[in-house]
Amino acid sequence: MISRVWHGWTTPANTDAYETLFKRKVLSRRVSFDRSIGHTRYSYQIISRSDGFVIDVPSKTQAEIVDYCGTFSGKKTDKFKACNLTPFPSTKISSPAILEFPLNIECATRKSVNLGSHSFFFGEIMAVHCDESILDEKGTIDKRKLQPMCAFLNSYWRLGDSVLEFGRSRLIPRRRKQTP
């Protein structure tokens, strides 16, 4: 049961429906993304009319661009122009990606759920594009070269070293409980 309600974006009345969707659509698929977008946003108008959306992953050097795009609305400002960003056509969906961001993940919208003030969009990853500068010699994404960042507690943070790889805890022997 999901009992925590995030700033009223979901209401207690729809937490069960939200949980079911999350389990079925997100956890059951290995390759999926979700976005919750406010209905007042210009992005909401665009995404709801489109067949998908692109997750453009910035590097830590691009925090100012991210902040600008997250602060000003496209209703009044051409954010591509203001931030010198270049749209480039996606291969599987109609929405464009942004060339200057090192990693672009094309998602086809599979489901949208109205949560009152926001809608949740569930997307299936259809294609991934990345800048050559973030690839290693084998052609896979080098997370150190990507230099990702995140937004947390009203600030943007660079992500430091990885502390553990997924699944590693399975390999660590657990200490047996000591009986007194």
Ligand X SMILES: Cc1cc2nc3c(=O)[nH]c(=O)nc-3n(C[C@H](O)[C@H](O)[C@H](O)COP(=O)(O)O)c2cc1C
Which positions lie near ligand X, rule CB under 6 A? Answer: 36-38, 41-43, 67, 70-75, 151
Residue number with CB closer to ligand X (91 or 114): 114
Residue 19: Cβ-neighbour burial (10 angstroms; 0-12, 13-18, 19+): middle
Whole-angstrom distance, CA of residue 18 vs CA of residue 27: 12
**Residue, CB closest to ligand X:** 70
Q: How far is the CB of 75 from ligand X (least distance, A)?
A: 6
- DSSP assigned state of 141: B
Whole-angstrom distance, CA of residue 71 vs CA of residue 151: 13
Q: How far is the CB of 170 from ligand X (least distance, A)?
A: 33
H helices of 72-179, in order, are: 79-82, 143-146
Q: How far is the CB of 104 from ligand X (least distance, A)?
A: 18
Residue number with CB closer to ligand X (71 or 169): 71
Residue number with CB closer to ligand X (74 or 145): 74
